[in-house]
Amino acid sequence: MSLADLRKDYSLSGLLEKDLARDPFRQFDKWFQEAEAAKLVEPNAMTLATATKDGRPSARTVLLKGVDGRGFVFYSNYESRKGRELAENPRASLLFPWIALERQIIIEGTLAKITREESDAYFHSRPRASQLGAWVSQQSSIITGRSVLEDAMKALEKKHAGAEIPLPPAWGGYRLAPETVEFWQGRRSRLHDRLRYRRETDGTWIVERLAP
């Protein structure tokens, strides 16, 4: 079978303007709860797309760890590739690909680091092994082999035995403040529903329907 033969007509649901919540955060919460109820694997997994200041793009999957009226939060090593790109170009996009529900959510906006206090609180809520892992991995750097990670992990386990692990100075959270949030629902004949919230300069949200 060729790739051209891989075709599915979407028919699970539709999305009309009257169905939407008043703001994108409430609509996101509604769809997220439905993704959890459908028992999707890691419904908080999202593709994060960033770019250098001259427009060279990169993308990877990260996990959403918080959302409220201020934006969408995830955590990373600030010296990773995405961290370096966000330092010089703080604009990014998030994509939740809930294929089993024939849905996508696409979020665009600007990012900023959250406070060290917020990062510290989340860091110490993680499993101890994950805390050590944040120290071990110099994310995106070239290493000679897996033994580099395993040896460093053993050394840190010994160093911090019986003691609290401090928050690494180059690790913490980012919050994406959305400017647009698009809710995409697959429909038959590729006539998908695409409803986009767009933030006005006064902070209010308007809804626009986009052609599929």
- State yes or no: 8 annotated in a binding site: yes
- State yes or no: 63 annotated in a binding site: yes
Domain architecture of the chain: domains with CATH: 9-124+167-209 (2.30.110.10)
DSSP annotation of 165 reads P
Residue 38, pLDDT score: 98
pTM as predicted: 0.93
Q: Give the residue-averaged pLDDT of 190-205.
A: 97
175 three-class SS:
strand
Residue 148, pLDDT score: 92
CB atoms within 10 A of CB 197: 23
pLDDT band at 1 (very low <50, low <70, confident <90, very high): low
- State yes or no: 12 annotated in a binding site: no
Residue-wise pLDDT for 111-169, tens only, equals 999 999 999 999 999 999 999 999 998 888 888 999 999 999 999 999 999 999 999 99
Q: Are 89 and 49 in contact (CB under 8 A)?
A: no
Q: For 33, how many CA atoms within 13 A lie in the half-sphere containing its CB?
A: 5
Q: Which residues contact 16 (CB under 8 A, 6 or more apart)?
A: 193
- State yes or no: 194 annotated in a binding site: yes
For residue 160, give the amino acid letter.
H
Residue-wise pLDDT for 45-81, tens only, equals 999 999 999 999 999 999 999 999 999 999 999 999 9
Mean pLDDT of the chain: 96
- State yes or no: 122 annotated in a binding site: yes
Give the residue numbers marked as catalytic.
190
